[in-house]
Amino acid sequence: DTGVSQNPRHKITKRGQNVTFRCDPISEHNRLYWYRQTLGQGPEFLTYFQNEAQLEKSRLLSDRFSAERPKGSFSTLEIQRTEQGDSAMYLCASSPPLSRHTGELFFGEGSRLTVL
């Protein structure tokens, strides 16, 4: 059983560029979450998908951020016109359907973004 996979693991970009991160959840997990973790802080919730539907978005998710999960499998998180304040670790997590949900989220290793 493979875990949650995130790519790329590290991304360095210049301010103003667009970046995209990909998350492949554990197979058969229909729930998918994105979190952001800045230096010295705990992870903060960004958005949640159930299958392909984006059901909740945090106020942290500005207009420059967009997340998709087009076929209910992998998800992408795109940041447009990056700013230095976007530098962070972006974490993806998944969990099974409610009928089999244990309350536990399964996290990937994260994608670290550095904006110069």
Interface positions with another protein (CB under 8 A): 31, 33, 35, 40-45, 48, 55-56, 91, 93, 95, 101-105, 107-110, 112
DSSP 8-state class, residue 99: G
By beta-carbon proximity to another protein, the closer residue of 40 and 85 is 40
**Smallest distance, another protein to C-beta of residue 109, A:** 4
What is the β-pairing status of strands 10-13 and 111-115?
parallel
Please give the structure tokens belonging to residue 17: 């560029």
**Smallest distance, another protein to C-beta of residue 16, A:** 26
By beta-carbon proximity to another protein, the closer residue of 43 and 86 is 43
Cβ–Cβ < 8 Å for 111, 84: no
**Smallest distance, another protein to C-beta of residue 57, A:** 11
Report how far residue 112's alpha carbon sits from residue 67's, in angstroms, rounded to the nearest whole number.
17
